[in-house]
Amino acid sequence: MKSLTERDGLLLKNWYIAALSREVGKKPIQRTLYDTALVLFRNNDGKVSCLNDRCLHRHAFLSKGEVFKGELVCPYHGWLYDHTGQVSCVPSEGPESKPSQNLKLKSFPCVEQDGVIWVWMGPSDNNTDVPCPATPPWRFPEALNPDWISYFMITDFENEVTNLAENFVDVPHTIFVHRGWFRDEKAVPKKVPTVVETKNGAVTVTYFQEEDEFSWGAKMLLNPGGHPMTHTDQFIMPNLTRVDYNFGSKNGFIINSQISPVSTLKSRVYTYIAYKIPLFGMLFKPIISFYTRKVIEQDTVIMKNQGDCLRSDFRTTFRSTEADEVHKEIERLRHYGVKGDSKLMSYEGKKEISFWI
Ligand code: FES
Ligand SMILES: [Fe+2]
């Protein structure tokens, strides 16, 4: 079977989140993206570096070493690497001497923005057909707006980006996987008219359902006034889902899920939650954190179930109904992305559908 890196083709050449800013402190840490072990650390100026986590000498993990005066020390024989990956000292050649060979570890462009560390995994030289943009395009919505409260959660899933993105914007599963937690258990089944629109490498789903079907607890937190609800879901290439609920003009709830590909059937998801509740919004953070953690854990179980099933037979011949229109569009865009097909940005489609929840 091909590795994830081989199967994902040109999708590799994108910005992916490797860690949250708060995770990179005084000690080096290891993270994996596309089967590649990376070591992240901060230099003397506090700037984050990302290098291949494999010492050039005898291949020890550098992330098990330490940072000394802003440089990375290998725990085995003490070779020192500067923030660019250049070997700056080989202790066995004399503690003060310059290394006799010019040795440089592969480094990866990284950018710290909105509290996360983004890494560019594709080649950064001029020969690549997908040059590394200066900064990641995605900015987390309302992160700087004092009326909104936001936080990140990190969750490991035993499944891959396409299936996870589909799960994160899938409505019909909520009455089964999140029974009683998300949707009201006693709600009478309703038909939901929906528009699925694809353009500019993104799929937007608009649900025409004025009344929410949240469980009692969720309703008390997010929409105590029972205001009309607007609900849109988005998938944005290569790996982001965005879910927006607005209740009247005062209350809102946003979920951004950035899915980082780790290896075959393994991903790490950075979930950004932002909410607006007038008055004392901060007081609700422990409850909302507990609630969102519980809902995500329920998704990890069903995503592991699907991942285990796919591991036993990787061929996908998914059968779809009208409710799966968004899923088919996600698969279409991801497929274009793998091949580097120009249709990724030029393809446009719009469908009016309906399904029951
Ligand atoms: S393995 Fe790193 S210095 Fe020898
Ligand atoms: Fe879910």
Dist CA 83 CA 344 (whole Å): 36
Mutational pocket test of ligand 1: of 62, 66, 74, 89, the residue with most ligand atoms within 8 Å of the beta carbon: 74
Size of the chain, expressed as the number of residues it contains: 357
Residues 173 and 287 in one domain: yes
Among 67, 100, 120, the domain boundary falls at 120
Asked if residue 135 belongs to a domain, the reply is no
Dist CA 211 CA 184 (whole Å): 12
Q: What is the pLDDT of residue 346?
A: 97
Residues 184 and 313 in one domain: yes
Of ligand 1's listed atoms, the one at least distance from the Cα of 77 is 3
The CATH number that applies at residue 38 is 2.102.10.10
Mutational pocket test of ligand 1: of 53, 76, 93, 101, the residue with most ligand atoms within 8 Å of the beta carbon: 76
Q: What is the pLDDT of residue 248?
A: 85
Q: What is the pLDDT of residue 128?
A: 52
Among 103, 120, 137, the domain boundary falls at 120
**pLDDT digits 0-9 by tens, 179-207:** 887 766 677 788 889 999 999 999 999 99
CA of 297 to the centre of ligand 2 (A): 9
- Give the chain's domain count: 2
Mutational pocket test of ligand 1: of 54, 62, 64, 79, the residue with most ligand atoms within 8 Å of the beta carbon: 79
Q: What is the pLDDT of residue 224?
A: 77
Per-residue three-class SS string for 275-303: EECCCCHHHHHHHHHHHHHHHHHHHHHHH
Residues 217 and 294 in one domain: yes
Residues 112 and 153 in one domain: no
Range of the domain at 28: 4-120
Of ligand 1's listed atoms, the one at least distance from the Cα of 74 is 2
CA of 285 to the centre of ligand 2 (A): 20
**pLDDT digits 0-9 by tens, 92-131:** 999 777 899 999 999 999 999 999 999 999 865 445 567 8
**Closest ligand to 64 CA?**
1
Identify whether the C-beta of residue 161 lies closer than 8 Å to the C-beta of residue 335: no
Asked if residue 141 belongs to a domain, the reply is no
Residues 45 and 164 in one domain: no
Residues 341 and 205 in one domain: yes
Identify whether the C-beta of residue 28 lies closer than 8 Å to the C-beta of residue 68: no
Residues 201 and 296 in one domain: yes
Asked if residue 308 belongs to a domain, the reply is yes
Residues 30 and 176 in one domain: no
Residues 93 and 176 in one domain: no
Residues 200 and 344 in one domain: yes
The CATH number that applies at residue 349 is 3.90.380.10
**Ligand 1, atom 4: nearest CA belongs to which residue?**
77
Ligand 1 binding pocket, CB closer than 6 Å: 55, 57-58, 60, 74, 76-79
Residues 54 and 175 in one domain: no
**Ligand 1, atom 3: nearest CA belongs to which residue?**
77
Asked if residue 139 belongs to a domain, the reply is no
pLDDT in 10s for each residue of the chain, 357 residues: 789 999 999 999 999 999 999 999 989 999 999 999 999 999 999 999 999 999 999 999 999 999 999 999 999 999 999 999 999 999 999 977 789 999 999 999 999 999 999 999 986 544 556 788 999 989 999 999 999 999 999 999 999 999 999 999 999 999 899 988 776 667 778 888 999 999 999 999 999 876 666 667 777 777 777 888 899 999 999 999 999 999 888 889 999 999 999 999 999 999 999 999 887 778 889 989 998 999 999 999 999 999 999 999 988 889 999 999 999 999 999 999 999 999 999 999 999 999 888
Among 99, 120, 141, the domain boundary falls at 120
